[in-house]
A = this chain, B = another copy of it.
Amino acid sequence: MGSTSGAAERAKPAAGSARPARRRLSVDRRREELMAAALELFSKRDAEHVSIDDVASAAGASRALVYHYFGGKQELYVAALRSAAAQLEARLRPQGGERPLDELACGLTRYFDFVEEHATGFAALLKGGPADRSGEIGEVVDAVRHRLLKLIMKQMRVEEPGPVLRVTLRSWIASVETAGLDWLERRDIERPELERMLIGQMVALLGVAAEHDAQVGELLGDLVRDRASRPADRPSSGSDA
């Protein structure tokens, strides 16, 4: 998937390439600054309490410039959401070299870091709260869920899941989302304990799935054996293995 969109990006710039590269860079940078300011605000407040003026003043730009780059508040919100989704996915990219369940646990910690940093925005989005929620926003949310599914499948070395495994992994992702919302609302469980519980849930859900699909049984056997018997025989180096 990454390579497809990469190809699309390489194919596109021809249209805008009449402008000199330096100007283009500064336009991109200005847009990024506005976006960062918007994302910061949308992360901390409900969308209905963020105005174009707030974003302009946080970025030290004019209201007109924000309109110029994004069109309006709804477009700005969608753009900020896409940017947040891209950040989340970048953070969850496997570091490589770790065993699947450990990798999953690391990813979960990074997911909760993200939830904590974008607390208000995350809660408002997933509760279905923002006043001006369009189909486009639902699409971004669904696309993130879909990519998390792909990512987890990759971590588990699964190419094409059968129906039972697919439902199970989607259910677990929904579980994690809900646990994130609950934690933001109540914060009456320590985060590390909640994360351990969610990893335990994954193993337990796979156990249930294994009763309905022998392929999942094999996968689960590999995962648990892998975790239990193999010591850290690879250097857990940082770069993607």
**Which A residues fall within an 8 A CB radius of B?**
48, 127-135, 137-139, 141-142, 163-164, 166-167, 170-175, 177-179, 182-183, 186, 188-189, 193-194, 196-197, 200-201, 204-205, 207-209, 211-212
Contacts and interface: CB of A to CB of B under 8 A. Distances in A.
8 contacts: A132-B134, A133-B138, A163-B188, A166-B186, A167-B179, A167-B183, A197-B211, A197-B212
Given A128-B141, A212-B197, A171 B167 contact: no
Contacts of A196: 212
Contacts of A167: 178-179, 182-183, 189, 194, 197
A201 B133 contact: no
Given A128-B142, A163-B189, A174-B175, 11 more contacts: A128-B128, A129-B135, A129-B138, A129-B139, A130-B138, A131-B135, A166-B182, A167-B189, A167-B197, A204-B207, A204-B208
Contacts of A128: 128, 133, 135, 137-139, 141-142
A212 B212 CA distance: 27
B208 A197 contact: yes
Given A128-B141, A204-B204, A204-B208, A171 B163 contact: no
